[in-house]
Structure 1
Amino acid sequence: MATTITGISSMATKHLLADLAHAYASAFAQPVAIESTGGVAALRRIEEGEAFDIVVLAANAIERLAEAGRIDPASRVDIARSGVAVAVKAGAPHPSIDDESAVRHAVLAARSIGYSTGPSGAYLMRLFERWGVLQEVSSRIVQAPPGVAVGGLIAQGEVELGFQQTSELIGVAGIDVVGPLPADIQTLTVFQGAVCTAAREPVLARSLLAYLSSPEAGAVMQRHGMEPVR
């Protein structure tokens, strides 16, 4: 039996990597197993030396792993980038998010606001601070636990207005994606892949990363609300 290439990623790239790993496995008869979990947990597991061949996380997390000597810096590749979207429960009224002022109004009007532990959540908190509304809305903020999708909290009625990477909201049952944040406050997170220093199959890992960052992967990215890094 062929050796399996193993990997770990954050939830933001879960569905994208599942599709690309399946395509790679079919094209090259090479099994691939990528585990997706909360980004904080994935980062910690690699930092603690757990053995995976590749890791795919936000660029700042990959940089942290490079500084800790947990990945091969020369193997780093840009895989995809993703913006932040806004969602509500399916069938609920859609707030206006046409510009920064409209989003700020929607936040202030929401009974509860959901965000993640990932890059989009950190950005949202900085945005609320810049708007001067963080203290006002703090009692209405719900942070999804690591590995739990904001979309799920929206669908269950625990959150009225949710913010997360577009790729994590697309296809979630029970919610409506209102749309991406407007350009004047949009933020794009670049997700990178790298070969782990604990990799058991570093050569195969490099081959998989080359495929994940290839032009052929671009169409798959778009289906998942992401885009290639140009």
Structure 2
Amino acid sequence: MHQQIQLFGAIAVRPAVLALIPRFETATGLTVAVRWEVNPTVKKQIEAGEAFDLVIINPSMVQDLTATGKVKAGSQVWFGRVGMGVAAKAGSRPLDIRSVDAFIHALKSAETIAYASDGTSGGYFSALLDRLGIADEVKPKLVAVPGGQTASAVCQAKAELAVVPVTSILAAAPEVVLAGRFPAELRSYIDFAIGVSADLRDAEAARRLSEFLTSTSVDDILAAKGVERR
């Protein structure tokens, strides 16, 4: 008898993966239990002994977990990438961030900007401000918000804008809108990979879920939720 598959993943892929789970369960008769945290927390909790069958986090973190024996060697597969975007409250004035100069102007003009300080996206954004040379001007405006709640901060009057993966912005609609993606020149994507636990209870069930999540048959659903394949 198959046991419930334990899937532990990053918050940024939650909206996309949740859209796929019912299809997988209907097709296979298997059930999936899901848990979500920001990337660094997922890695830290697995290292501390958290049980899981499949994990979806940054590829480098899957590699680290493989090196420590938590993820089965050779099981890592590419899942997709998620672009960074700017969220605004529905009905707010249009925002032009199509070029790097326009993006910088928008950040400088905003009164407050929410970001996921404890997640991969927050670390990336903070480093990007340094790289663009606007950290001194923009960082005092930043509002640290827990991962998973960053996009919603703009409709809760916690911030004028929010910088967060596109998946989270699309999931917060209709109260929140995607004001725009980061300019193409900044190559602002967060990569995700799947790893299989080295301590599996049901290897066949885990394999089937991993293959389903990476199959081309679900590409359209993932794209609609903000996950890009490449």
TM bracket (short chain):
over 0.9
Unpaired runs of at least 5, structure 1: none
Deviation at 1:187, TM superposition (A): 1.4
Post-superposition shift, 1:214? 0.6
Q: CA deviation at 1:122?
A: 1.7
| 1:200 alignment partner in structure 2 | 201
TM-score (norm: length of structure 1):
0.93
Q: Which portions of structure 1, spanning 4 or more consecutive aligned residues, are displaced by more than 6 angstroms?
A: none
Residues 82-127 of structure 1 show CA distances to partners (whole Å, capped at 9, x for unaligned) of 1111111111112210200001011111111111232222221121
Question: Which residue number corresponds to residue 124 of structure 2?
Answer: 123
SS in 2 for 1:64: helix
In structure 1, distance between residues paired with 2:137 and 2:199: 46
Q: Conserved in 2, the CA contact under 8 Å of 1:51 and 1:199?
A: no
User: What is the rounded CA distance, in whole Å, between the counterparts of 2:166 and 2:213 in structure 1?
Assistant: 19
Distance 1:65 1:87, change over 3 A: same
- Between Structure 1 and Structure 2, how many residues are aligned? 228
Q: Alignment partner of 1:114: what SS? A: strand
- 8 Å CA contact 2:95–2:180 kept in 1: the answer is no
How far apart, in 1, do the equivalents of 2:203 and 2:74 lie? 12
Deviates more, 1:105-114 or 1:65-74: 65-74
Q: Give the letter for the 2:25 counterpart.
A: A
Aligned equivalent of 1:214: 215
Cα distance in structure 1, aligned partners of 2:39 and 2:120: 9
Q: Which amino acid aligns with 1:210?
A: E
Alignment RMSD, CA only?
1.5
Residue 64 (structure 2) aligns with: 64
Q: Distance in 2 between matches of 1:156 and 1:95?
A: 19
Conserved? CA contact 1:86–1:162, under 8 Å: yes
Alignment of 1:1-150 (within 5 A): 2-116=2-116, 117-145=118-146, 147-150=147-150
Contact between 2:87 and 2:169, CA under 8 Å: does it hold in 1?
Answer: yes
TM-score w.r.t. structure 2 length? Answer: 0.93
Counterpart AA for 2:194: G
**Conserved 8 A contact 1:87-1:176:** yes
Supply the distance in 1 between the matched residues of 2:63 and 2:149 (Cα, whole angstroms). Answer: 25
Structure 2 spans left out of the alignment, 5+ residues: none
Quick one: structure 1 residues 166 and 107, their matched pair in 2 at CA, closer, same or farther if it must change by over 3 Å?
A: same
Once residues 36 and 166 of structure 2 are traced to their aligned partners in structure 1, the CA distance between those partners, rounded to angstroms, is 16
CA shift for structure 1 position 39: 2.2
Residues 160-184 of structure 1 show CA distances to partners (whole Å, capped at 9, x for unaligned) of 1111111111031421211211111
Paired amino acid for 1:199 = L
Alpha-carbon deviations, 1:193-228, whole Å to 9, x = none? 111123322232122101100111101101101122
Q: C-alpha separation between the residues in 1 aligned to 2:29 and 2:68?
A: 33
CA contact (8 A) 2:94 2:179 kept: yes
SS in 2 for 1:157: coil
Does the Cα contact within 8 Å between 1:81 and 1:227 map onto a contact in 2? yes
Instruction: Give yes or no for contact 2:143–2:159 (8 Å, CA) kept in 1.
Output: yes
Q: Distance in 2 between matches of 1:137 and 1:68?
A: 38
Counterpart residue number, 1:171: 171
Contact persistence 1:51–1:200 (CA under 8 A): no
Q: Secondary structure at the match of 2:159?
A: coil
Letter in 1 for 2:211: A
